[in-house]
Amino acid sequence: MSEDASRFEWARPRTGDERAGSTTGPEAVRGTPRGATPSAGESDAREARRTQRQRARPTEATRDPRVTDADDRVSTSERSRVRFRFRATGPAETAPVVRDGTVFLGCANGCTHAFDADDGTERWSFRVAGRVTAPAVADGVVYSGTNGGTVLALDAATGDRRWEFAADGAVQAAPAVADRTVFVAAEDGRVAALHAADGSRLGAFRNAARALCALAVDGERLLLASLDGGAYAHDLTDGREHWRFEPSLAVRDAPAVADGVAYLGTVDDGRVYALSAVTGREQWRAETGAGVWASPTIADGTVFVGSGDGTVYALDADDGTVAWRTDVGARIWASPTVADEAVIVGTDAGDVYAIAREEGTVLWWYRADDAVVAPVTVADKTAYVADRGGAVTALSLTEDSV
């Protein structure tokens, strides 16, 4: 047994008739928030914009001084920030990943694109059947999963296939890579650890809940989220469960960890929770007005959250009290992105906002071609915005671009 393989003593998954069948053919919003209706095209984005305009605004008498409205923004979209726009072959519903001057993007039509981060020139593309997850990029390799149950490793420079692995069910969560190991969560609850070099299986375990939709590595813990209910922490070395949280509540994104605290949002009750990353014990909770579909973003003692109520919240990381909240007028499906002194977030109306971290005022905004349901990726003073129309727009974050 190799040194890598000896690290894993996980229970082997059952085989035979337990294997989940792969899905084929057209799907009706598979891989998008369950029980909701995210925008599926330009007409839906326009409808979201109409709804945004029709929403009631507070009067001066009822306005909370901590609340900023989307109407308080500048009057025009900042098109001057656009550096280039890359057109993918399918809907872009996952965040772009930037590595070494290349942007990698997974699309809902099964295509993975690689293009130049400076000018948008395509370097390669690779197509598989079905829907592909967001890519995970490490050591010159691009890893992704598909809803057909395939895990792929592609050469980051050429797009050539390195290896392929058949998972035990549909893969909706982007793989996580740590210490030469690729962790893959199948929708049926099975989690596998694969050798990054050749895709051989090092171990596997079954999570308590199915519908696994996100995973992340935090030190010696593997964090999982399930739309069937709950967040979970397992040991990386043997797969043992360290803790589970609220198995009765749907959790769409893996917890984000900072300073020993795990922060997560729940879909059913629209709350943000702070837990001990070691024990899973709740430390505080905060309310929002609708489902929270993505993990919070933590920076300098503040927890930034986007909610389905169309509001960005800034919460104190110690106790969850609200520092400010900004109404952007349309649903938010993804985690906010912190870039220097701004918090950047997209909406399903196709609007992208840069909000001041300290006071919550809108610094600038940009209107994308379609709904933005993935986090905005920031690298080298550029924000890469993916929309469901299949465009990735590169926005300059330097002051001389205005």
As a whole number, mean pLDDT of residues 285-310 equals 98
Task: Using a pLDDT cut of 90, give the percent of the chain over it.
Answer: 78
Q: How high is the pLDDT of residue 177? A: 97
- As to burial, measured by CB atoms within 10 angstroms (0-12 exposed, 13-18 middle, 19+ buried), residue 37 is exposed
> Tell me: the pLDDT tens digits for 122-147?
999 999 999 999 999 999 999 999 99
Q: How high is the pLDDT of residue 71? A: 56
> Tell me: the pLDDT tens digits for 378-397?
999 999 999 999 999 999 99
Domain 5-11+34-401 sits in CATH at: 2.130.10.10
The mean predicted confidence, pLDDT, of the chain is 86
Check pLDDT > 90 for residue 4: no
Check pLDDT > 90 for residue 58: no
Q: How confident is the model at residue 192 (pLDDT cuts 50, 70, 90)?
A: very high
pLDDT, greater one: 251 or 27: 251
Query: 351: part of which helix (H) or strand (E)?
Result: strand 351-356
Nearest CA to 134 out of 176, 163, 183 is that of: 176
269 contacts: CB under 8 Å, gap ≥ 6:
249
- Residue ranges of alpha helices (H) inside 314-390 are none
Helix (H, G, I), strand (E, B) or coil at 139: coil
Q: How high is the pLDDT of residue 402? A: 53
Nearest CA to 243 out of 231, 260, 228 is that of: 231
Q: How high is the pLDDT of residue 47? A: 54
pLDDT, greater one: 9 or 103: 103
Q: How high is the pLDDT of residue 69? A: 63
- Specify the range with the lowest mean pLDDT, choosing from 65-69, 129-133, 190-194: 65-69
CA atoms within 13 A on the CB side of 116: 8
CA atoms within 13 A on the CB side of 247: 8
148 contacts: CB under 8 Å, gap ≥ 6:
22, 23, 24, 128, 129, 130, 170
In the chain, domain spans:
5-11+34-401
As a whole number, mean pLDDT of residues 78-101 equals 95
Task: Using a pLDDT cut of 70, give the percent of the chain over it.
Answer: 80
